[in-house]
Structure formats: structure tokens, C-alpha cells
Structure 1
Amino acid sequence: MISHITIYKYDDSYQIRYFKATVSKEIVIQKATEELRTVIESLVDLLEEDLLPEEKIIELTAEVLRVNIQKEEVVNLNIKYKETLLETELTAEQMLELMEIYPEWEPVIDYSAGTIVKYESNLYEVIAPGHTSQADWTPDATPALFRKIVPEGVIPEWIQPTGSHDAYNTGDRVTFNGLMYESLIDGNVWSPEAYPAGWQQVNVV
């Protein structure tokens, strides 16, 4: 028989304690969903009344547990599918559609080549063999370490290569000062302005 029940609220988490057959029991619910908060608030309202039938306590406690279990199942499914998607080879378009599954870039993290990270609403692939990120080595500012992921057919802006590993090759297209150019040579590390002979302007049809 449940003889007493108390609820403590900490931000969006709840601690529910009750006595059943003189034994103290406890339920801890982390980061309660909106639905769960509604249920708990209803329980709190009833607890503030002078009389609360034992049947109602059991009913509401069971409802709290049910909603919390459902929340855990959804979280577990989300984790499972997220891990599956991260291990699947996706096109650039699919990656951008599923941008939310990728982790935010952070400083002081050991990144390995091939890792996909999110930074300022863009996705980047780590192209360096491996490095520890730094606050001043953001993906948008260090093309030697990161390659911006763009959909097929989208021509990226020219970025200054830092070596042969990220130099432009014959046929690579870029935009530069509002115009489109195609590289005429391999290992092209110059801009269309700095070395016009290495580029051919492409007219957009």
C-alpha cells in the first residue's frame, strides 16, 4: 500500500519518492518530455489536495513510468538509427538533408580522416590524416584540414590550397569573384587572378 508520495523538481528533471508497504522507493526522471511534464504536474496538483485516493496515486505513478519508458525507447531507437546512418555511405545531398545527425565541430578533439562534422550550418569532412582541433583551426578557415561538403552540381568557391593534397586538378571547377573557372592543369594552387594561364573561364548557360 502506498502511504506517502513526494515530488522534487530540478530544472527539467524530477525525483519521485513514495512509500509502499513501509519501504521507500524512488523514481528519477531525467530531462522529462513535455507530455511527461504534463502528467507530473497533474500528479502534483492532486497531491496538493487534502485527500488523494490510493487508486489515483497508483494510476498516476503508472502513467509516469509508462511515458518515461516510451521516452527511453524513442531515445534508444534514435541512437540506433543515427549510428546506422553515420556508418552508411551517403551522397552529399543526403548528408546535408540529415545534417542534424552529425556532431558539431569542437576544439581540443582528436579527429581522424573521413570524419564528418557540422560547423555554422555546413558540413565538413576531415581530410588530414589526424589532428587535434584548435579554436583557431575552424573548418571554414583551414582547407588543409577540412573539405566542405557540397551537393553534386554545386560549384564551390575557390579556396587557397595549402599543398598538393588539396590542390586543384584538370577539370576542377570553382567560382572566383562571381565567375566560374575550370582548372587547365593538375596541382593547381594559384587563383584565376594570380595565374590566369592555369584557368579557363566557363560561361554559365
Structure 2
Amino acid sequence: MRARKLLSVSAALLLGVSLSACKSADPTPSSGEAAAGAEAAPPADPPIATSGGKLPFPSCAEVAELSGGLFDGLVFADETVTTYSDNPGETDVSCIWITEAAAKQSTDLAKHATVGFTFQWEDDAFEYESLESMGMAFSTPQTEEVGAFLLNKKESLDLDGPPSLSGPQLVKGNLSIGATGIGAMAGDAVVLDFTNQDMLDVQVEILKYMESRQA
């Protein structure tokens, strides 16, 4: 099923980031970490062009700007874990941020929080009525405003909770914008002090931005 496929891809991607940060990252801080206060700013890559008249995906730098500083204090993952691929029939982009502790290979796993967005085109458009009837989709006034809906089970998505592996999956037509995360706990506090709703706010802004660039 498409919904399960998209969620599993995002979950595997984010888990892979956390594990790679622990096992194989260079302990020397990357250039993205060097400047204090600028950890969340990725390189200014150009937008990823798509074929067949599809809207171009934003670059990770544009995603960071559209987030309104949501990821300040986090480190933008380097190219080893942030992927740009253009395969026949689909284009995928992933933008990932991790905690500074993870970037420095800290052994304190409680601080290895990870958050990110994925962008994907499907061959077929998402059909709300059929997905909703199976309990796999729902809408909110916010998503309806942009003609989109959430490809999530309503009871499984806590918009007021911290970023999660089953985070908001905003879809419109055959476009999917996923938001997933591993909030992590440090004592009684969640390391990532924003919510799934905050992530959804960014997804909606991304969708608006993509559509604003349509020729």
C-alpha cells in the first residue's frame, strides 16, 4: 500500500541518520557546525527540477528559510545522509537536521534527535475518498485551505506531540511532502521542543511556495 511505503521510507531514512551519526561520522565538526547560530542553514543548492511539467522541489536551503527558524540549534546533515536523486518516473529529495550531539558522535543517545522532510512524486494521484474510507487519511481546515490532506491515520498522529516517525504526510495530487522525526528524551524533557503541528505548518508553507513558482 502506498501509505505504508511512504512512511516506511521516511522512518528508515531517519533511523539511518541516527545510526550513521553514532558509527561513522567524522568527529571533526563539519563546516555546517562551525559557525555558532548557523547550524540549521544548509548549502544554497538550486531547486531540484522535475520532469513532465511537475513543480520543482525546493532546495534544503529554501526549506530551512520556509521553516522560519524552526531548526535553529540543529545541524544540517551533510551530503552523506541528505540525498538528491532523479530516477526514471520519480524524483526524491530529503532534507535532514540532527542534534549537535549526534553530529559530534556523542554517546548520549537521548540527545540524538533527528528531524527531516521528504519530497516524492507518485505515478498516480492520491484519492482522498478511498483512502479516507479505509481510515488512512483525514483533513483539517489548514490542509483543506491548500487543497491537500494528511495521509495518516487520525488516531495515530498527535499533532500536539513531538516529531515522530509517523509524522504528518501532506499529500496533494501525486505529490507527497513527508515530515518525520525522532524527538528523543533528555530526562523528562523532549530534546526537540516543537511539535508535529509545527512541522505541518512548514509543509503547508512548502506546498504554497512550490505552487507559487508554477509557470
TM-score range normalised by the length of the shorter chain: under 0.3
Who wins on radius of gyration, i.e. which is larger? 1
Q: Which has the higher contact order (CA 8 A, sep 6+)?
A: 2
Q: What's the TM-score, normalizing by structure 2?
A: 0.19
TM-score (norm 1): 0.20
